[in-house]
Structure 1
Amino acid sequence: MVEHRTVDVNGIRLHIAEQGSGPLVVLLHGFPESWHSWHHQFGPLADAGFRVVAPDQRGYGRSDHPEDVDAYTILHLVGDVVGLIHALGEEKAYVVGHDWGAPVAWHTALLRPDMVLGVAGLSVPPPFRGTRPPLATMEERFGGRFYWNYFNRPGVADAEFARDTRTTLRKFFYSASGDAPGTAEGRQPLVDPERGWLAAMPDPEVLPAWLTEDDLDALTESFSQGFTGALNWYRNLDRNWELTAAWHGSVVTSPALYIYGDRDLVPAFPGTPELIEKLPELMPNLRREPLELAGCGHWTQQERPDEVNAALIEFLKGCS
């Protein structure tokens, strides 16, 4: 049975969902999601002998939404994970992240390897810091149309997405899934800054089998405070690049696992396919070849829960 409570962490309050007992596994969601993104993982991981905890990360759901944009840097986000592990009475944990949660998981392992028993990332591969700030790089490459740059315009995406939260989420989840038409490469997330992003997204008449109306209800409720907190994560991309300069060239040394869908748009980002191909050489403790899930889009653990659960349980047990 999943239980809910709030804990004080890193100067804020985080809502968490938890189930099971045993070694701690922290599950970190992405955008635009919540703890609910992991609802297929709680039972299987708990039954496998783990204590499973998924927070609403800062700026999301029932957790605090700091107003200051600067309160959403990667150091704050890693600090939340470190503080959560300690607040739960543990010194170490396995850390698993999807989408934005993956960079938080990878950076937790990079910055605090003493606390990470193993790290798994879904969709977003491990961080290898580039030589230039990411927002400037994408601005130049795509003429300001890449979604990171659109999100960086204060108040713009916030207002677009909040006009009809349920429709926004329905379009997001369908258009980035393995069920949407087109190839991942053909669905690069480029935005017409005048029309907004949602105008070009298909709105399905019937939800994919893995996404229910109850799922949409839970997601919609979690964005009752709007999207600004979540979007502030993107507004720190260049600041994160500056803050992590001391780790340039460093690699994640904790036992690691990477899982992605072959129809996910994120692994199709410029330069990412080449990075994934080289991961076995770049990651000293990658426990297996990157796991590619056929026909799977961006919402990895929701579209393919059985395969993801099996891979995670094998990985977690193999680390112990």
Structure 2
Amino acid sequence: MNPIDPNNFNHRTERLSTGRTYHFIDERPSHYDGTRPTLLCLHGFPDLWYGWRYQIGPWTRQGYRVVVPDMLGYGQTDMPSDAAAYSTKSLCDDLAALLDSLEIPKAVVIGHDWGSYTAGRFALWYPGRLLGLAMPSVPYTPPSIDHMPVEMMAERYPNFGYQLYFADDTATAEIEANLLSFFRLLFRKPASAIPWAKAGELRALVRGNLGSSLAEGCLLTDKELDYYVSQYSRGILGPLSYYRTTKVRYEEERTGSLPASLGAKFPVLCCYGTQDETCPPSSLRNAHKFIPQIRDLALEGAGHWVMLEARDAVTEEIIRWVESLPHSYGKYRL
């Protein structure tokens, strides 16, 4: 299987019981008998199912069914116009419905970036549907006691200042007009990173339209970039809407009385690039307070895009961790 070619994967589309239609990859090993769990992989921003392209084939060949959706608003999945539709409670409802439609009672859930955050919330909203949780790049954070507006977050954590821009409605059209430059700017090796995380930096870069000057140091080939641009042809309103749900997420979690901690025996893996500024040591220390069974795995020299930068290590270490999980569940489902 050539992982670069999207046509080499098994694409499916299902209308879920939540009323939304999801596009997803569903790869099964030949002669799959359900004795190994399904791996449900969630991507982040600004990504697609395609972000897992280097892991899907190897994991399938090792006997695992791998399901990778385009998350809500991305690729060929529905894109609601109302930002509230992208709350993590809504996303988790969709994920549970997707598993239902595939007759999968439980899965190992693996999420990167926003997918990691969503996977962590899935473990709180639907704890009975997970066999384990792997969180590349973004460690677990508990539900907030108080609402923190994005403005306060950017002030308190300067490296999250870019979220001010994403939360601003004017960002949608500006990024859409510069999609290729935007992908080249964000999908970069740590050594060639251009500062954009602090408040005001990203807006200035997008408006500056840096164009082909960003090509050197980009992690994506021209062919991969073409695929990303084609899959964002509907625009970027849906993906940016995730950053516009701060208040509704807080209210849903408060109303739902979500716990701060996962179960005492719940297995969690956090693997992160040592050059990833979105995963500071303080966030890892904080995650340990709420997950007794968490296991850390440092990927030396890698930045944020660990599935690309450390593709072999991510593929091998995650599956090694999966194989260490308790295997007392019998068949997981055909």
| TM-score (normalizing by structure 2) | 0.84
% identical equivalent positions: 31
Q: 1:27 to 1:143 in 2, by over 3 A?
A: closer
Q: 1:277 aligns with which of 282, 285, 289?
A: 285
Q: 1:4 aligns with which of 5, 11, 33?
A: 11
- 1:8 positional shift: 1.3
Distance 1:228 1:3 in 2: 27
Amino acid at match of 1:153: D
- Gap runs ≥5 in structure 1: none
Mean CA deviation greater in 68-77 or 245-254: 245-254
CA displacement 1:136-173 (0-9 Å, x = unmatched): 4225437998122222222x111111112112111111
Tell me if 1:18 matches 2:26: yes
- 1:205 positional shift: 3.7
Distance 1:105 1:224 in 2: 27
CA displacement 1:225-274 (0-9 Å, x = unmatched): 11110011110022212211244552122311001111112113xxxx22
Distance 2:290 2:236 in 1: 35
Distance 2:298 2:145 in 1: 28
How many aligned positions are there?
Answer: 306
- 1:63 positional shift: 0.6
Q: 1:274 to 1:11 in 2, by over 3 A?
A: same
Partner of 2:121: 107
Q: 1:172 aligns with which of 162, 186, 190?
A: 186
After TM superposition, list the pairs within 5 Å mapping 1:226-265 onto structure 2: 226-245=235-254, 246-247=256-257, 249-253=259-263, 254-265=266-277
Tell me if 1:222 matches 2:248: no
Partner of 1:141: 156
Q: 1:14 to 1:300 in 2, by over 3 A?
A: same
Contact 2:27 2:56 in 1 (8 A): yes
Amino acid at match of 1:296: A
After TM superposition, list the pairs within 5 Å mapping 1:1-320 onto structure 2: 2-9=9-16, 10-21=18-29, 22=34, 23-134=37-148, 135-141=150-156, 146-154=161-169, 156-174=170-188, 177-181=189-193, 187=195, 189-192=197-200, 195-198=203-206, 203-208=213-218, 210-245=219-254, 246-247=256-257, 249-253=259-263, 254-268=266-280, 273-286=281-294, 288=295, 290-319=296-325, 320=327
Amino acid at match of 1:151: F
Contact 1:172 1:201 in 2 (8 A): no
Where do 4+ consecutive residues of structure 1 move more than 6 Å?
A: 142-145
Distance 1:141 1:285 in 2: 29
Secondary structure (helix, strand or coil) at the match of 1:179 reads: helix
Mean CA deviation greater in 300-309 or 238-247: 238-247
Amino acid at match of 1:78: C
Amino acid at match of 2:11: H
Q: Give the CA RMSD over aligned residues.
A: 2.4
Q: 1:142 to 1:197 in 2, by over 3 A?
A: farther
Distance 2:83 2:42 in 1: 20
CA displacement 1:81-115 (0-9 Å, x = unmatched): 11111111111111110000001111111221111
Distance 1:114 1:199 in 2: 46
Q: 1:291 to 1:193 in 2, by over 3 A?
A: closer
- 1:211 positional shift: 2.3
Secondary structure (helix, strand or coil) at the match of 2:22 reads: strand
Secondary structure (helix, strand or coil) at the match of 1:244 reads: helix
CA displacement 1:188-232 (0-9 Å, x = unmatched): 711328954535897434344x52222111211111111110011
Distance 1:191 1:52 in 2: 37
| TM-score (normalizing by structure 1) | 0.88
Distance 2:178 2:146 in 1: 36
Amino acid at match of 2:14: V
Distance 1:247 1:256 in 2: 22
Secondary structure (helix, strand or coil) at the match of 1:108 reads: helix
Q: 1:158 to 1:188 in 2, by over 3 A?
A: closer
Contact 2:43 2:112 in 1 (8 A): yes
- Gap runs ≥5 in structure 2: 1-7, 328-334
